Structure 1
């Protein structure tokens, strides 16, 4: 598995922070286990974002390769040059 790049880590970290804040505000959790559960859920969501972010780039690259015409694959005629 390739290592995540800086953009993937930034998206994952931002997801964790925003998800944690949003879930804490929406759930009104005040107990320790509730806050811990929200933290774990936010970390899992951030990990999911980091791991699935490259899939979109791979799909776009694969689709781009499928649409591009096949050029340079033995399509040109080679003529041997005269030897001096």
Structure 2
């Protein structure tokens, strides 16, 4: 597999996945936030602490990270196309 095909595949995957979270399609950023909160709560219960679990990442931060990943994918995908065309 050539580097161009790898860059194109990885770039399109990053663009689609990052865009999905950045645009919060079907509540993806909200579900990531809920899953992280549930994991933190389970981790605290396993340690024996019964207080409220701290929230480290919010829905907005997940959407921001999705935007960064989508932008990186939008750079890699044309790079892969240019590599394949050369």
TM-score, normalized by length of structure 1? 0.48
Greater helix share, structure number: 2
Rg (Cα) greater in structure = 1
